Structure 1
Amino acid sequence: MGLSLTSDVQYIKGVGPAIGQLLNKLGLFTLKDCLIFFPREYDDRRKLPCVKEVECGDMVTIVLTIESMSDKKIKKGLHVIEAVTFDSSDWMKAVWFNQPYLLKVLKPGLKLLVKGKVETNLFTYMPQINVSETEILRSIDDIKKSTGVIIPIYNLTAGLYQAQIRDIIKQAFMAGKTLIQDNLSNHIKREHNLMELLPAITEIHYPTSVENYKKARYRIVFDEFFFYQLRLEKQRIQHKQIAKTTPLIYTHAFINRYYQALPYRLTNAQNKVINEILDDLRKPVAMNRLIQGDVGAGKTDVAIVTLLAAIESEKNGVLMAPTDILATQHYLKIKLLLEPFNIQCSLLKGKMKKREKEESLAMIESSEPCIVIGTHALIEQYVSVSNCGVMIIDEQHRFGVMQRIKLQDKANNPHCLFMTATPIPRSYMLTCFGDLDKSIIDELPPGRIKPKTSLVTDEFLPQIYQKCVERLRLKEQVYIVFPLVEESEKVDLKSAVDGFESINIIFKEYQVGLIHGRMKPDEKSEIMKEFKENKIHILVSTTVIEVGVDVPNASIMVIQDADRFGLSQLHQLRGRIGRGGKQSYCFLISKSNSEQAKKRFKAITDTADGFKIAEYDLKIRGPGDVLGTRQSGLPQFQLADLLRDEQVLLLARKVAKHVLKEDPSLSSEIYQSLKKQLDSFTDTMIGQHLN
C-alpha cells in the first residue's frame, strides 16, 4: 500500500521508528513535512580542489583518505581528534574539535569528504583543515552521489548525518512527488509568472542553475506569504461580520474641553489617528485597531480622547498596561488631567491594600461610567468590566495572546485599541498584525529636542559624571541603567545593586534611588513617585524603566554595558529623556570592540528614527528576540524572509485581498483548490500558528 502526504515519517523507506524519532526532533512528522524541509544551504561540489590547490584561510570541501589518527582531551570541555590524511597530490592534517562521536566511525584507510577552514599547522607546517562537516564515502556509489554536483545541506540533530538525511529526503521525494497538489489557480500563476509547484520544490532540493533556483524560491515564498495573508484577510472580513457591538454615541463635550485644556496643540498625525478611531467607534462593528508611534509621539493623548468618547457614551473606558509602574503612571496622569471634568478614575493592580481594591472594584461595578486603568489584574475572575465601551491595551506585544482575548471576552466584544511604542517595520506589521486596522503616529510634538547619543568607554566615566553634576546643579535629574539586578558569576557585567552602592559614594551630595524588577510593586511605585517629585536626583535602574516612564526633568541617561541591550531596547530607554524641552544626553558605555558592536552603535548614534533602528535590529537579532516570537505572533516560515522578501509579501497580500474581494467565500470553480488548501492549513507550522 502506497504512502499518503500524512503518512508517518517512520514508514518512508530506510527510516523506521528509531530514526523517525530523530526526524521528529527536526519537526518532521509526516511525508509532507519531509517534502518541504528545505536545505539551509548548498555545497557546490561540481569541481573539488586537491590538497595542492588549497590556500591558508580558504573554506573548502575536499576528499581525503585517513593514513593515521589519534585523539586527546586537552582540558575539560575540549576533545580533539587529529588525523594525517592524503589525496593524490599531497598530505594534509585534519582536526575535529569536540566531535568525539566520530571516533566510532573514523578509521585508517577510510575515504572522507570533509568541509572546513584551512590553516598551516604550527609544528609540521603541513596544511591543516579544521573540519566542521564530515561525510564517509564507503563505496564508488557514495563518491558518485556526493561529488560532481550541487549538494543540499540540511539542518541536523544528534544521531543524523548529512548523507543519511539526503537519502531520506530523496526517498520521501520518490514516494510523494506524485501526491503534491498545486492549489494556486492557473490564472494567478500566469498573471504573476509563477513556476509550477512540483518543479519549484524539486529545484529547491536539487538546484540545476542559479536562475531556476531563484524562480523556484520566488514561487515557494509567494505561496507561504499568500496563504498566510489570505487567512489573515479572511479573519479580518469575518471579524467585521461577526464582531457586532453598540456604536458609541459621543457628543465631543469632554473631548473638546480636553483639547482646550492642553497647553499645546496636537500634531497633524495625532489628529489624523484620533479621527480614524472616532470614525470606528461610530460603527456597529467592534473596532480592532493598532496604533504604532515612536517614543514620545503622543499616544497617551490619543488614548485619553478614546476613553473620553466611551464616557460620553455612558460606557466605561478600560486601559490595561503591562507593569504596575506604567499603570500607576497612567492613572496619576489621567486622573490629574481629567479632575476638572468630574470623571471617576479607578486603578486596579495585583498588589493593593484590601480597602483600596474594594473601592476600585465598587467603582468599576457601579452604574456610573468611569475610566478603569489596570494591569493583568483586570483579567482576574472577580473583576467585572461588562459596561465597557472601549478597551485600550498599551504595549500590547508584552501581553500573551490569551490574556488579551480573555480581557476582550470579559468586556463583551468592546471596541479595541492596541498601542505599541516598539517600531515595527512594514513587513512585520502586515504579518504579525495583518488582521488589524493600523494607524501610525509618525510625527513628534513640536519643541521635542532629540537626545544627543554618544558611545564612550569606561575610562571617560569621570568626564560623564562631571557632566551629570553640572546638570544636577541645574536641578535636573539623571538615569543610570544597568543590564542586571545583581552581579553574575558567569558574565563580567556591572549590576544595578553594585552600581547603586558606587554611585552613592560618587554622588554623596545627591539623593540616589534604586529600582529593579525584583522589588515589590509598592516599593517601585514609591521610588518612581519620589523621582518624579525630584526628591530622588539620580535613579539607578534596570530596564524596568524601558517603557512609558515619564519624568520630563530627567536630562541625562548613562547606560552601562550597552552592548548587552538590543538596539530597539536602547532606543526605548533613550526615550525616557528629552521630554522637558531641554537638550538631553544619552551615554552608551561599552567595552566591546567587535565590528558588529561598532555597526550597531553607529546605527543608534546616527539616527533617532525608531523604525530604521528596529529594522536594523531585526536584521541582526531576528524577530524572535526583538518582538518576542510568541508574543508578537510571528509565524515560522520555511523559506520566506520578512525583510529580504518584502516585495513578494506586498504582492501576495495584494493578490489575497483581490481574491477575497472577488469571491469572499471562495465558492467559485477556479478557487475550489485554493479553498481546500486554506481549510487544511492546520497541518502546517503556519496553520498551527493561526489556529
Structure 2
Amino acid sequence: MNVLEQPVTSVKGIGGKAEEQLAQLNIYTIEDLLFYFPFRYDDFSIRRADEVQHEERVTLQGTVHSEPELRFYGRKKSRLTLRILSDGVLVQAVFFNQPFLKRQISPGDYVIYHGKFDKHRLAVQGAIIKSGAAEGAFEPVYPLKGDIKLTSLRKWIAAAYELHQHDIPEILPAQAMEKYRLLSRAEACRSLHFPEDMSVFKQAKRRMVYEELLLFQLKMQLFRRKARESSEGTAKVWPDDTVTSFLASLPFPLTGAQQRVLDEILTDMKSPFRMNRLLQGDVGSGKTIVAAAALLAAVKSGNQGALMVPTEILAEQHFDSLTKLYEGMGVRVGHLAGSSRAAEKREVLQQLKDGEIDVITGTHALIQDTVDFFRLGLVITDEQHRFGVQQRRVLREKGMNPDVLFMTATPIPRTLAITAFGDMDVSTIDEMPAGRKQIETYWAKPDTLPRVMQFIQKEVAKGRQAYVICPLIEESEVLDVQNAIDLHARFQAALPDLTTGLMHGRLPGPEKEEVMQAFASGNVDILVSTTVVEVGVNVPNASVMVIYDANRFGLAQLHQLRGRVGRGSEQSYCILLADPKSESGRERMAIMTETTDGFELSRRDLEMRGPGDFFGYKQSGLPQLKVADIVEDYRALETAREDAARLVQSEAFWQNEQYLLLREALSRQAGDLSQRID
C-alpha cells in the first residue's frame, strides 16, 4: 500500500473521534488530508485603510479615537463599536459578542484589528483584535463541518505534512514542469497550507490548478475517445454540388462563422462515427440555415432528418421556412404536431415509415412510440436545454445510430462549454449577419409606464407591434410584481383604440396558438404575456419589447426575451421597467443597456453567478474542483485541454514510464483505464 493511502489515524493526534469528524469532510487517508486545501487565507500583514478594496478582508492599525460603545441585544448578544484613526482615516470597527473588550480598550490605545472592510461606510465588520506577534502572518481557513475546530484541522495537516512531505510523489511529466516552470507537488502542497508570502502562494496555486484541470481534461478526453470509438455511425455521401447549390440559391451569403460550423458538421456526417455536436449561436446568428443545409445533405445521402423543437408554433415556423428553402429541390417536408387531427397524424406517420417524408419537424410528439422512421440519419434538437436527457435519447434511438446535432440560442462561454459539454464537440457561431440593426435597450423606473404606453402607440401607428412581458400570471401576495392579467387590463383601458392580447402558460394549447397566430398575423397590436414567448416566436413586425419587473429575470432570460424583436428591417427597442433594490439587480440592468452580444452577456452572467448557478440547475458535467475556478482560470483550462488531447492521442502516454504516476492518478479518477481504452 502507498504510504499516503494509510488511514488518517496513523497521523499523531488523530484518534477515533477525530477520524469520524474528518470523515464528514470526505477525509479518510493521509493523502485526503494533505490535499484538503484552504478556501481562503486571512492576511494579517498591516495595510493602509486608503488602499483597501471594498469587502476585502484586511488588517489595519491605529489609535482608538473615542470611548468604545457597547450595546446588548437578544440573549447574551452584544455589539462593541470602536472609532479608530488609521493612517489619517477614521474607521469604525465592529466587534460582536466580545463585551470584555470595553474594559480593556481606552481612547488613545494603539490596536491592530482585522475583518471585512466596507469601503462605503468606512467600517470593518466582524473585527477581531490581533496581537503584534501575529502581524504579517497568513492563516489558512478551511471548509468545516460538524464539530471540527479550525485550530485542530490546521494542527493535523501540519503533523501529516511534517511526517510525509517526502512521500508526496510528482505526477506531472518533467517536460510540463519545465515548460510551465511549475513548483514540485510537495512544494506546492506546503505553500498552499503554510504560505510564507503571497508570491509563493500564487506559484503553488498555479501548479495545483494546472494539475487539477489536466486530470479533469484527461478524463474528459478519455471518455470522449471511448464514446467516439464505440459510437458506430454511418458515413454519409451526397452529390458534390448538393450544399453549394443550396447556398447559392439563398438571397444572402453565409457569414464566415456559419460556413465554419457548417463545414465542421458536414465533416462529422461524412465520418463513420456518429456525430455528437452542440451548435451554439446568439439569437439571429443564423443557426436555422446551417441546420437546413445539414438536413439537405442527410436527405441527398438517402436518409431522413428530424428537427425537434420545444413549442408547436416554432415547429410550424420551421416547417414553413424549410418548405420554402427546399422549393424545387425534391425534398418532402412533413410536420407532426400534438394538436393535429387523428387522421392527419396517421397519414404523416405512415409517410414517415414508408420514407415518403424526407424531413419532419415537430415537438416531443416526434418521440412517441407510434413514430417510426424509414431511415433516420440526422436528428437536430433546437433549444436542447428545454428537453430532458431521456427525451433526447429516445429520438436518437429511433434511427440506426443517426448523427445528432443539438442547437441552443443561449450562448455559453467557451470555458464552461468545453467543461460541461466535454463529451461533445462544440461549434460556435460568433458572428452576426451584416446589416442587422442593433436593438436599442433602455432602463426606466416602473412609474414611467404611461410614457412607455405613448411610445408603443406611436410605433403601432407606424404599423409595428409590441410585446409586454411580466413575471407572474395572477396577483401574488408573496412577490410584489406586476401580473399579466392586471397589466393586460391596464393596457386595454389606457389604449382602447389598439388591440391587446393576453397569453400565458395556463391557457389551453389551442387558445395559446390562437392568440399567438393573431399576433403573428398582425391582428393583435400589443401582446401582454408571461415568458412563454421566450422561445419559438418569430414576428418580424414586432419592434418593441417591454419587460415589466425586469430585475426579476436573469441576464440570459432577458436577452432571450429581447431577441423576440429586431427580426425585421426596422429599428427595434427593448425597455426594461425595473427598480431593483439589490446591487446585483442594478448591475444586470446596466449590463443589458451596455451590450446586445449574447456571449458577452453570458460571460458577465457567469462572473456574477458562478458556474454552479449558471445553468439554473446542478450540471453533472461540472467538476467538483478543489483549487481551480473555471471562470478565473480559463487560460489554464484551455492549456490543460490542449495538453490532455495531445497526451491521450499519443502512444507515449500509454506506454512510457515517465507518465506512469499521471496514469495512475487518472485511473483513480476515471476507473480502470484498461477497460476504457482497448
Counterpart of 1:425, as a letter, is P
SS in 2 for 1:680: helix
Per-residue deviation at 1:185? 1.6
**569, 585, 590: which one aligns with 2:578:** 590
Listed as ranges, the matches of 1:41-440 within 5 Å are 41-45=40-44, 72-73=73-74, 80-82=77-79, 96=96, 116=115, 130-131=125-126, 149-157=137-145, 159-167=147-155, 169-170=157-158, 173=161, 180-251=168-239, 255=243, 258-259=246-247, 262-335=250-323, 337-338=325-326, 343-348=331-336, 354-385=342-373, 387-440=375-428
- Alpha-carbon distance in 1 for matches of 2:376, 2:350: 15
| 8 A contact 1:328–1:525 mirrored in 2 | no
| 8 A contact 2:234–2:401 mirrored in 1 | no
Name the structure 2 match of 1:686: none
Name the structure 2 match of 1:542: 530
Q: Sort the Cα spacing of 1:648 and 1:470 in 2 relative to 1 into closer, same or farther, 3 A.
A: same
- Alpha-carbon distance in 2 for matches of 1:431, 1:647: 13
| 8 A contact 1:619–1:643 mirrored in 2 | yes
Per-residue deviation at 1:535? 2.0
1:483-504 Cα offsets, whole Å, 9 max, x none, are 2333433332222233223222
Name the structure 1 match of 2:36: 37
| 8 A contact 1:327–1:374 mirrored in 2 | yes
Comparing 11-20 with 671-680, greater Cα deviation is found at 11-20
1:357-379 Cα offsets, whole Å, 9 max, x none, are 44444343333343233334544
Counterpart of 1:149, as a letter, is A
Query: Is 1:551 the equivalent of 2:539?
Result: yes
Name the structure 1 match of 2:623: 635
The number of residue pairs the alignment matches comes to 649
- Alpha-carbon distance in 2 for matches of 1:515, 1:532: 13
**466, 482, 496: which one aligns with 2:484:** 496
| 8 A contact 1:311–1:369 mirrored in 2 | no
Q: Percent identity?
A: 37
Name the structure 2 match of 1:620: 608
Listed as ranges, the matches of 1:570-609 within 5 Å are 570-592=558-580, 596-609=584-597
Per-residue deviation at 1:463? 1.9
Per-residue deviation at 1:577? 0.7
Q: Sort the Cα spacing of 1:621 and 1:250 in 2 relative to 1 into closer, same or farther, 3 A.
A: same
SS in 2 for 1:211: helix
Comparing 375-384 with 503-512, greater Cα deviation is found at 375-384
SS in 1 for 2:318: helix
| 8 A contact 2:21–2:147 mirrored in 1 | no
SS in 1 for 2:655: coil
Per-residue deviation at 1:317? 0.6
| 8 A contact 2:7–2:30 mirrored in 1 | yes
- Alpha-carbon distance in 1 for matches of 2:592, 2:249: 36
SS in 2 for 1:666: helix
What residue ranges of structure 2 are gaps of 5+ in the alignment? 49-54, 62-67, 83-91, 106-111, 672-678
1:447-497 Cα offsets, whole Å, 9 max, x none, are 321111111112332222111111112221101111233343333222223
SS in 2 for 1:416: strand
- Alpha-carbon distance in 1 for matches of 2:595, 2:137: 47
Comparing 277-286 with 301-310, greater Cα deviation is found at 277-286
- Alpha-carbon distance in 2 for matches of 1:537, 1:48: 61
- TM-score calculated relative to the size of structure 2: 0.82
Comparing 422-431 with 190-199, greater Cα deviation is found at 422-431
Comparing 306-315 with 9-18, greater Cα deviation is found at 9-18
| 8 A contact 2:192–2:201 mirrored in 1 | yes
SS in 1 for 2:418: helix
Q: Sort the Cα spacing of 1:420 and 1:128 in 2 relative to 1 into closer, same or farther, 3 A.
A: closer
Per-residue deviation at 1:658? 2.7
SS in 1 for 2:378: strand
Per-residue deviation at 1:303? 0.7
Query: Is 1:565 the equivalent of 2:553?
Result: yes
Per-residue deviation at 1:299? 0.6
Counterpart of 1:45, as a letter, is F
- Alpha-carbon distance in 2 for matches of 1:651, 1:3: 32
- Alpha-carbon distance in 2 for matches of 1:514, 1:428: 37
Per-residue deviation at 1:586? 0.8
- Alpha-carbon distance in 2 for matches of 1:435, 1:381: 28
SS in 2 for 1:510: coil
What residue ranges of structure 1 are gaps of 5+ in the alignment? 50-56, 86-91, 120-126, 138-142, 684-691
Q: Sort the Cα spacing of 1:630 and 1:308 in 2 relative to 1 into closer, same or farther, 3 A.
A: farther
Comparing 208-217 with 562-571, greater Cα deviation is found at 562-571
Comparing 293-302 with 429-438, greater Cα deviation is found at 429-438
- Alpha-carbon distance in 2 for matches of 1:398, 1:371: 21
